[in-house]
Amino acid sequence: MTGTPERTAGGPVVVGVDESDSARDAVRWAAAEAARRGAPLRLVAAFAPIPAGHVGNPGLGTSYRRVMTEAARGVLTSAAELAAQVAPGVATEAELRTGFPVPVLLDESDRAVLTVVGSRGLGGFTGLLVGSVAVALAARGRSPVAVVRGDPGEGAEGDRPVVVGVDGSPTSESALAVAYEEAALRSAPLVAVHTWLDDMLEPALAPVIDWAALETEESALLAQRLAGWSEKYPDVEVRRLVVRDRPARALVAESAGAALVVVGSRGRGGAAALLLGSVSHALLQHAHCPVLVVRPDGGGSG
């Protein structure tokens, strides 16, 4: 068992805000999470102004900045009102920052206990594809990064499990630590999912493989990965699920009806640290509930 990843002590839950419905879902979810953790909530909107002397009308840049700044402040005001409805006791601050969303939110993630974004921002052309900001932040954020999609699960969360993918990689171990913490915070059961079909290097050998023995071996491996956590979190009910399937497909299926899916940024065989792993990327696109992405040092994926 590894130690629970350290989070910024006293850090806020940070949520990226724009005018999209997805961002409003993220604000609601983040407000509830801040209340759950006893943490402050920080609403952040990013605005990258064009130069005052933009090509064409010299006054266009100034006028554009003024209009867009006022609009962004209005969005933040509405977001703060929405957060207050969900979590009236949470200390909330809002800031309009100059810059593009990804670098602004990456900077915010340095001090956050959790960074939250919607699955899609403005300008998206299809709900089946996750937004570029969500992908970039999940790949490089320095706190755990939650992408709110599917059913945010505002009601009766104690009956909805936290799901975590377990494969034994460093990111999987960090994800497991965070998943236990999240389940304990919610008084929710934990479903630990381990898949093993992708370990088959020679599909032609399938007819001669002792599948029952292999499943027993994989079940023992999962039990080993979970060893020690029951002592640390005795009140968390755990269901072990060993599945002969691809990791992404199994986790997407388990996300239906879940409160949250927790996944490492990269599984076994991950190459570039700045790239999001195939399993985490698939969950960001297809999960039926919010997805929390964790990297080996306890931060968001990377």
Range in 18-22, 31-35, 294-298 with the lowest mean pLDDT = 294-298
* Tens-digit pLDDT profile for residues 104-151: 999 999 999 999 999 876 543 333 345 788 888 988 888 999 999 876
Residues pairing with 95 in the sheet: 44
- Structure confidence at residue 61 (pLDDT): 60
pLDDT at 3: 41
The Cα 179–Cα 260 span in angstroms is: 9
pTM of the complete model: 0.84
Of all residues in the chain, the percent with pLDDT exceeding 90 is 45
Question: How high is the mean pLDDT of the chain?
Answer: 81
Would strands 291-294 and 190-195 be described as parallel, antiparallel, or unpaired? unpaired
How many CA atoms does the CB half-sphere of 149 hold within 13 Å?
28
Tokens (6 digits) for 281:
């990327």
Q: How many other C-beta atoms lie within 10 A of the C-beta of residue 71?
A: 13
pLDDT-wise least confident of 20-34, 160-174, 209-223: 209-223
Q: Show Cβ contacts of residue 281 under 8 Å, excluding neighbours closer than 6 positions.
A: 130, 135
- Which residues is 13 bridged to in the sheet? 41, 114
Residues 70-101 have pLDDT tens digits of 888 999 999 999 999 999 999 999 999 988 89
Q: How far apart are CA 5 and CA 137, in angstroms?
A: 19
Q: Which of 44-53, 218-227, 230-239 has the lowest mean pLDDT?
A: 44-53
